[in-house]
Structure 1
């Protein structure tokens, strides 16, 4: 995994182009600590920071084709990701006359592009975000993987197109201003949604999952090569549970086998939940992987809290590890470290934005930091809940019936987190931004873009609507969080449940199959029942743990009081006056629920963001 940046100007780059690209590239040093490179032509400059995973000694980027000294470059590539089927592709391309000088998947991707052009993506199985510059055609292509696991941002202004893995690299360009317009403010006020293709910073957009963006003298055009909407509305694939289970298990076995290909140490995240336990168990059965390393997160004070989420995770994670045979480590995080201002600042810097989940984010950042001491690649069980209906809001009647995104409905299905955030926003700002109207329009647009086979029942259509909403507006938020906080530590996280073949299979199964045996994710439970202990197999969905330490809340209270006493510029433009009142410190810094201290965490996140980024707000 890596960080990529670039800049194309079709009237010609100026004399400072290399220096600017190097400055942008330096923003990704944590994503790619193992090397860097810059390639410059008259109209384009590409840069790359490398985290070596496959072919550690070779595969430097940007990579060129032809690569022979003295030859005119046709294609230049900067690439972030992994092609899990690169060995099969390499064999096919060799039979077509291509010759390879490295063992890297980068060279395979570049040869595939030279062979098939934009249709190369039809051959790819992996997670990727890359840019290809065609020197002959004077055309840039930006390409993102099917589910958008790897990030890819861009800024387009007339003759310029500037791109990068993270917004911070684009903001480092002298022609881009760190500003947030009204739409950006709406997105910041609605942190539980990630609106497709958008970014709160003015002028910065994202290449959509499954999309190719082309930039040439003809302008900008996009090609949607894969879209989950094309599968959501199809007839039910099969009503035979046995067939569905067999197919899912076959896909999981193949996907995990592909995703354990690595030339550096590899491990798994193991929370003791169904999804991560399934991934760990399958990985551990592979040849040469017996005794795979697994890691879970815990908190220093959780020992006396037997009913806390972290204590429950510790119990089930160890039960799963003992049964599977993984070499398990429980990473215990000290609450004083977790509450550190420097850790919050590092988390906000990694994410570029104040949107977040308090100690759920800081603990993930610290977990990845510890895991990176032992491994460079980790497998995660993320995304199973979104494509299989594992969350409470897939089943709670009020959330299912709500005429909005189910996880922000006014029900207990997601801990009222949406309502808790809105309660902190300045009422005048909320009215001026017309947040309710904005949400209604976004929801209507999302649902209106779906069409279903006439044979699907009303209940089945709603189930699939929620899957679409979850994978398009909720999962991207989690994938972005995981990518940023892991790559900030030079750790690559792979997500087997985001293999597009698994998604295509699961979204066309009936709700009855998804909930086989009367349990959410029943089809997955049946697919891996031979691999896991009964306790783990039957465990109810448990959210990511939050620290139960009262001392953590006390430290947040002190920090909150300090911020209220001397707020950074901009903070009072976002939050209601009563929120920044000394009398509210204890209430906001010690509120509890699905995410403890959530309101106070939101304010502290914004304070950190204002200090580090000094954004210009459209207020």
Structure 2
């Protein structure tokens, strides 16, 4: 796992611009604390920060190989190719010679052999750029599910790119302007493909190749979620899911550094942890597992609509049964509300997303894990793949002509729009923006011949989660983990599993009337009964009222800065009311609004954006 960046300028010789390239690369230091390198030749400058995972001495980047005519092909690569062993053997059989044992060199020599079609041969999570001197072009490629982030910024004579916006923003050509659509992305809780918030900046979309040469920029989609007939019966489907999971976990355990699992006590992380424990147990290794918890949560837990039970008892049941070396990372409200932690989260994400204590706890969890392990396996994305969220079973959400997770979002978390100035609310017109995004999204869903209206609707809901919702959470996971130099792998995003389960009919995904039926049965032999029977519980959030009180103190400090530009967007009167509520009266909506406002203010302080409200 690494950070990549670069600058292509067809009208300049960039060898005189080393200082700028170094500055762009330096912003990626947290993503790659083990090594750093740049490569500059003529119109191309590439930078790389390395988190060493495989072939620690041999995987240095930027990595260059030569064509038969001696022209260089140079790669900067972030991620992991889990099938690099097989690809290496195939490339050797085709006459390619290797000088390292790294998966990076497999990707590079794969490009020499197959060009941009190498993307379709890779199994993994990746974002990489190749400067091809012979063809005078830059090729940028991102993995199918969008696990690894990748941004670019076209310039008059080329392009800037980076793993994160901060690498691009370090270049003097990149503006820091945010328009109405950028603000809409911050408040709508949707993820528009290709959108990067900052004007002029874009994402390399998942499953996409972007090529830049003298003639301009071209995009090519090499993978998308397609509809196919599912012919397997229940037993065959369950067995195939298990076969896939066994293979996926086996591949994703490969590393030359310490590994662990993230364990929440839910079905997803428990199944993944148990699979890893069984596989490593065959070689007398013990899996390390980690869980996040809050001081006093289990003893004082209060059930609500989203979370019926605390995580800890289930976590410990799994750890005992799987025989993991387990550790709870217990956090208190002071740490969760700490402004320095909040600032580190904002810096990691480049955006004020307003996830509050859930972002802070994830960052602190990863920071604690990094003291023990460099690679962690996560249960992220199983809910999107197998159908685990409440909205999959909510009749109103099923029928709604919008993104299903938004139907009850306001009543469960609060309406972000409530904190806005009335004029800003009018300008943003979030309702229309969301509807436009929804109509665009559903156009991509292909209907199977003979598919019933109900099955097609459920297919659409699955599609929306896999192409929109999951990308919000994958980005959150990547930024929080890479901010502390931890590589988090997501087995449930393996494209083979995603394709197979997506095309299983809903009647099969929920054959026992419960969420994630296929996953539950495929791993039933590994799970404690308590987890097998547990109802879905989202990522935990603190219930300590002192956390909300701390937010109020920070809000009062912000109100004292009367000229702060955040009040161009946030309603000052709303913030005054929220900051002075008595503690028992602080609603979930007010708490979320306070978190969002504090995030916005810190983001403004850090990035000095020019925000256009018209």
Give the alignment's TM-score, normalised by structure 2: 0.96
Write the distance in 2 (CA, Å) between the matches of 1:275 and 1:479: 15
The structural deviation recorded for 1:265 is 0.2
Tell me the residue number matched to 1:47: 47
What is aligned with 2:107?
Answer: 109
Q: 1:119-146 CA distances to partner (integer Å, 9 max, x unpaired)?
A: 1112110100000010011010000001
1:312 is the counterpart of 2:273:
no
Alpha-carbon offset, residue 186 of structure 1: 1.3
> Which residue of 514, 536, 539 maps to 2:534?
539
Corresponding residue number in structure 2 for 1:221: 218
CA distance in 1, matches of 2:403, 2:181: 18
- State whether structure 2 residue 564 is matched by structure 1 residue 569: yes
Report the equivalent of 2:156: 158
C-alpha contact 2:555 2:579 (8 A) present in aligned 1: no
Equivalent position of 2:276 in the other structure? 283
Matched, 1:324 2:322: yes
Give the secondary structure class of the aligned counterpart of 1:578. helix
| Equivalence for 1:202 | 199
Residue 446 of structure 1 is matched in structure 2 by: 441
Residue of structure 1 in register with 2:423 after alignment: 428
Distance 1:569 1:199 in 2: 25
The correspondence for 1:243, drawn from 229, 232, 236, is 236
1:584: Cα distance to partner?
Answer: 5.0
In the alignment, is the contact (CA less than 8 A) between 1:588 and 1:597 conserved in 2?
Answer: no
Shift of 1:58: 1.4
Quickly say closer, same or farther: Cα 1:568–1:179, change in 2 above 3 A: farther
Match in the other structure for 1:34: 34
User: 2:170 matched to 1:172?
Assistant: yes
Q: 1:498 to 1:603 in 2, by over 3 A?
A: same
CA 1:110–1:603: 2 relative to 1, 3 Å: same
Check the 8 A contact 2:578/2:590 in 1, yes or no: no
Q: How many Å separate the matches in 2 of 1:569 and 1:589?
A: 29
Larger mean Cα displacement after TM superposition, 426-435 or 38-47: 426-435
Contact 1:310 1:547 in 2 (8 A): no
| Structure-2 change in CA distance of 1:610 and 1:395 (3 Å) | same
- The answer to whether the 8 A contact 2:249-2:491 is kept is yes
**Contact kept in structure 1, 2:290 and 2:329, CA below 8 Å:** yes
**Is the 8 Å Cα contact of residues 421 and 602 (structure 1) preserved in structure 2?**
yes
Once the two structures are superposed, the pairs formed by residues 475-514 of structure 1 within 5 Å of their partners are 475-514=470-509
**Aligned counterparts of 2:592 and 2:149: Cα–Cα separation in 1:** 26
- Describe the superposition over 1:455-478 as per-residue Cα deviations: whole angstroms up to 9, x where unpaired: 111111111111111112111000
Q: Is residue 545–residue 583 contact of structure 2 (8 Å, CA) maintained in 1? A: no
Q: 1:370-449, aligned counterparts within 5 Å?
A: 370-409=368-407, 411=408, 414=409, 416=411, 420-449=415-444
Change (3 A) 1:337 1:584: closer
Please give the alpha-carbon distance, in whole angstroms, between the structure 2 residues aligned to 1:554 and 1:185: 28
Which deviates more, 396-405 or 266-275?
A: 396-405
Residues in 2 aligned to 1:587 and 1:157: alpha-carbon distance in whole angstroms:
52
* Contact 2:387–2:515 (CA under 8 A) maintained in structure 1: yes
When the two structures are aligned, how many residues end up with a matched partner?
Answer: 608
Measured after TM superposition, the shift of residue 452 of structure 1 is: 0.6
Aligned pairs for 1:578-589 within 5 A: 578-582=573-577, 584-586=579-581
Which of residues 606, 611, 617 is equivalent to 2:605?
611
Matched, 1:96 2:90: no
Deviation of 1:310 (Å): 10
- Quote the residue 2:547 is aligned against: 552
| Residue-by-residue CA offset, 1:40-78 (whole Å, 9 max, x unaligned) | 01110001000000011111000000299xx94420000
Quick check: 1:144–1:210 contact (8 Å CA) kept in 2?
A: yes
CA 1:27–1:273: 2 relative to 1, 3 Å: same
Do the aligned residues in 1 keep the contact of 2:8 with 2:159 (CA within 8 Å)?
Answer: yes
Query: Is the CA contact (8 Å cut-off) linking 1:129 and 1:144 kept in structure 2?
Result: yes
CA contact (8 A) 1:290 1:326 kept: no
Change (3 A) 1:578 1:123: same
Task: Give the secondary-structure state (helix, strand or coil) at the position aligned to 1:48.
Answer: strand
| Offset of residue 175 of structure 1 | 0.7
Task: Label 1:184 to 1:436 Cα distance change in 2 as closer, same or farther (>3 A).
Answer: same
For 2:397 and 2:505, the matched residues in 1 are separated by 20
Name the structure 1 match of 2:85.
87
Match of 1:340?
338
Question: Does 1:263 find its partner at 2:261?
Answer: no
CA contact (8 A) 1:290 1:325 kept: no
State whether residues 284 and 292 of structure 1, in contact with CA within 8 Å, keep that contact through their aligned partners in structure 2: yes
Distance 2:244 2:389 in 1: 23
Contact 1:297–1:310, Cα closer than 8 Å, also in 2: no
After superposing the two structures, state which structure 1 stretch, 243-252 or 299-308, moved more. Answer: 299-308
How far, CA to CA, are the matches of 2:274 and 2:316 in structure 1? 13
Aligned-residue offset at 1:589 = 10
TM-score, length basis structure 1: 0.95
Per-residue deviation, residues 227-247 of structure 1 (Å, max 9, x unmatched): 01x23xx33x03611011011
Contact 1:408 1:418 in 2 (8 A): no
- CA–CA distance in structure 2, aligned partners of residues 205 and 416 of structure 1: 32
Deviation at 1:549, TM superposition (A): 1.5
Contact 1:515 1:523 (8 Å CA) reproduced: yes
Between the aligned partners of 1:446 and 1:500, the Cα distance in structure 2 is 20
1:292 — aligned with what? 287
Measure the CA separation in 2 of the matches of 1:575 and 1:596. Answer: 13
- What secondary structure is seen at the aligned counterpart in 1 of 2:524? coil
Aligned-pair distance for 1:437? 1.5
Between the aligned partners of 2:576 and 2:505, the Cα distance in structure 1 is 51
2:457 pairs with 1:462? yes
